[in-house]
Structure 1
Amino acid sequence: MQTRTIGIIMTIIGVLMLLYNSFNLVTTEKVVDLGPIQINKEVNHPLEWSPIVGVVLAVVGVVLIVIGNKKSV
């Protein structure tokens, strides 16, 4: 891939990580299984990250875009 393309992708991911600091995965666990009777439980698994990670990705992405533009000129 070109440097500029990677920079654009990193910038977009960085901005999205700034906007959405976390998301929640929901899984289903089987609690009781007695033949035809089943009891399931939904379990939440929150995934969180620091906004600093999004800032770093966005800044590195912009730097790669600038480097890609200088290299092509």
Structure 2
Amino acid sequence: MKVAGIVLIVLGVIALIYGGITYTTHKKVIDIGPIQAEKKETHNIPLPPVLGVVAIAGGAALMLIGGKGR
């Protein structure tokens, strides 16, 4: 349980620092025989700060619960 708590805390901190996930896709615009053109599109998935705080709190709770079991 402690490992899961640490993982949640780390993920929560990362979510607070970066604030979202960004990825790039490639889309073909023109494909006429030997002539090809691609367009790069950048997409952003925002992560609310509350999600990071909840992950940190959940990780801390798991670490406390995991510590009491021994």
TM-score w.r.t. length of structure 1 = 0.90
Query: Match of 2:59?
Result: 61
Q: How does 1:34-45 map to 2 (within 5 A)?
A: 34-45=32-43
Q: Deviations for 1:23-52, whole angstroms, at most 9, x for unmatched residues?
A: 321111001101110011111111111000
Pairwise CA RMSD:
0.8
Identity %: 36
Verify: 1:29 aligned to 2:38, yes or no: no
Select 2:10's aligned residue among 4, 9, 12.
12
Structure 2 gap segments, 5+ residues each: none
Cα distance in 2 for partners of 1:33, 1:4 equals 53
Runs of 4+ in 1 over 2 A off after TM superposition: none
